[in-house]
């Protein structure tokens, strides 16, 4: 195919990939003080597998949005490669499954080095990634998209990343996964706020569709507040280092995201708000990882 690298890169929806790499980094950093040296082979295998599964999930979304008529040449966002860039639907689907295949090979390596129970978790995670937009009742069409995405991409990835290094999941890892999970859910919420009108027309029942634009922004505020509170609880009650509070430096970014969504504007004008919400997760997560690393010095 004669497609530019930029088109392929856009098709991965890079602004969303923070939801897969941040949990791996945080999950690894939280257990680093418990071991003499990290298994970097396991870290990178987990990192690449997580990102490939997310990219594949984005491609399934691309394919099924096209099949259901949600994507047109006038659609807002970076999706729509089938209608805008001339990709054949079958090519997108094959690409997605090929990424699943690579992830599965990496998963087998992780199992060989640790436990075969990870294989079951990986299969369930890939299945959920597929039915997020595939199947007769896609998760993305329900009010549970944010919860499912936050759980699997936040808690599950952090728990596995911690387990790979030390052979169990400590309480601190579970505690620190909660704010990360919430912020990953906020990325999906931001996307759904932007797409609210089009989603309503096409029968989706996301949180944003059910409550409307203004209340959905209040839900976003609640997500941000819950992330902050759960971080404080992790520090005060679950032995997470006080350095983790450095992640609160991301609060101004949260405020900016809310401001960008505050008015009910056309979808194209809400794009910066969605990008800003992704940035919140990235900066929060990286500050968290840096603080955990500092605490280990």
Give CA–CA dist 28/282, Å, rounded: 16
Which stretch of 85-89, 115-119, 249-253 has the lowest confidence by average pLDDT? Answer: 85-89
Average pLDDT over every residue of 112-138 = 92
Residue 1 has pLDDT above 60, yes or no: no
Q: What is the pLDDT of residue 3?
A: 57
Q: Which two tokens stand for residue 49?
A: 């597998």
Residue 83 has pLDDT above 80, yes or no: no
How many other C-beta atoms can be found within 10 angstroms of the C-beta atom of residue 113? 13
Q: Read off the pLDDT band of 33 (50, 70, 90).
A: confident
The number of residues making up the chain comes to 297
State phi, psi for 227 to the nearest 5 degrees: -65, -45
As a three-state string, the secondary structure of the chain is: CCCCHHHHHHHCCHHHCHHHHHHHHHHHHHHHHHCCCCCHHHHHHHHHHHHHHHHHHHHHHHHHHHHCCCCCCCCCCCCCHHHHHCCCHHHHHHHHHHHHHHHHHHHHHHHHHCCCHHHHHHHHHHHHHHHCCCCCCCHHHCCCHHHHHHHHHHHHHHHHHHHHHHCCCCHHHHHHHHHHHHHHHHHHHHHHHHCHHHHHHCCCCCHHHHHCHHHHHHHHHHHHHHHHHHHHHHHHHCCCCHHHHHHHHHHHHHHHHHHHHHCCCCHHHHHHHHHHHHHHHHHHHHHHHHHHHHHCC
pLDDT tens digits, 161-193 = 999 999 999 999 999 999 999 999 999 999 999
Residue 2 has pLDDT above 80, yes or no: no
Q: Which two tokens stand for residue 10?
A: 């856009």
Q: Read off the pLDDT band of 8 (50, 70, 90).
A: confident
Q: What is the pLDDT of residue 71?
A: 59
Return the top range by mean pLDDT from 33-42, 47-56, 88-97. 47-56
Give CA–CA dist 262/273, Å, rounded: 9
Q: In this prediction, what percent of the chain has a pLDDT beyond 70?
A: 92
Q: Please state, in angstroms and as integers, the Cα–Cα distance from residue 108 to each residue in 20, 38, 143, 255, 264, following that order.
A: 19, 20, 33, 42, 47
State phi, psi for 137 to the nearest 5 degrees: -135, 85
* Contacts of the segment 39-42: beta carbons below 8 A, 24+ positions apart: 39/113, 39/164, 39/165, 41/113, 42/110, 42/113, 42/114, 42/164, 42/165
Q: Which two tokens stand for residue 76?
A: 């807002």
Q: In this prediction, what percent of the chain has a pLDDT beyond 90?
A: 66
Residue pair 195/77 in contact by the 8 Å Cβ criterion: yes
Q: What is the pLDDT of residue 65?
A: 81
Q: What is the pLDDT of residue 70?
A: 65
Give CA–CA dist 119/108, Å, rounded: 7
Q: What is the pLDDT of residue 167?
A: 94
Residue pair 158/170 in contact by the 8 Å Cβ criterion: no
Residue 110 has pLDDT above 70, yes or no: yes
Closest CA to 85 of 176, 169, 187, 2: 2
- Give the rounded distance of the alpha carbon of 70 from its chain centre: 22
Q: What is the pLDDT of residue 81?
A: 62
* Architecture of the domain defined by 5-295: Orthogonal Bundle (1.10)
296 vs 205 pLDDT, higher one: 205
Which stretch of 17-21, 72-76, 219-223 has the lowest confidence by average pLDDT? Answer: 72-76
């Amino acid at each position: 195919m004669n497609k530019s690298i930029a088109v392929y890169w856009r098709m991965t929806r890079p602004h969303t990939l923070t939801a897969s790499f941040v949990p791996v980094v945080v999950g690894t950093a939280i257990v680093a003080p418990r071991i003499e040296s990290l298994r970097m082979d396991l870290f990178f295998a987990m990192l690449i597998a997580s990102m490939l599964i997310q990219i594949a999930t984005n491609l399934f979304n691309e394919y099924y949005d096209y099949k259901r008529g949600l994507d047109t040449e006038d659609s807002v966002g970076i999706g729509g490669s089938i209608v805008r860039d001339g990709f054949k639907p079958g090519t997108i689907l094959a690409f997605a499954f090929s990424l699943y295949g690579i992830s599965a090979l990496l998963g087998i390596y992780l199992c060989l080095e640790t436990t075969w129970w990870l294989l079951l978790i990986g299969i369930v995670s890939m299945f959920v990634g597929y039915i997020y937009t595939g199947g007769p009742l896609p998760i993305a069409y329900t009010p549970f998209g944010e919860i499912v995405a936050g759980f699997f991409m936040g808690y599950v990835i952090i728990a596995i990343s911690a387990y790979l290094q030390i052979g169990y999941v400590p309480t601190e890892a579970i505690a620190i996964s909660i704010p990360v999970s919430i912020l990953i859910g906020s990325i999906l919420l931001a996307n759904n706020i932007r797409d609210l009108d089009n989603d309503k027309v096409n029968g989706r029942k996301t949180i944003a569709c059910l409550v409307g634009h203004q209340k959905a922004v209040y839900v976003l505020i609640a997500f941000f507040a819950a992330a902050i509170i759960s971080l404080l609880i992790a520090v005060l009650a679950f032995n997470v280092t006080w350095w983790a509070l450095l992640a609160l430096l991301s609060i101004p970014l949260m405020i900016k995201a809310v401001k960008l969504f505050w008015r009910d504007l056309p979808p194209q004008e809400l794009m910066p708000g969605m990008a800003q919400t992704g940035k919140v997760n990235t900066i929060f997560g990286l500050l968290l990882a840096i603080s955990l690393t500092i605490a280990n010095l």
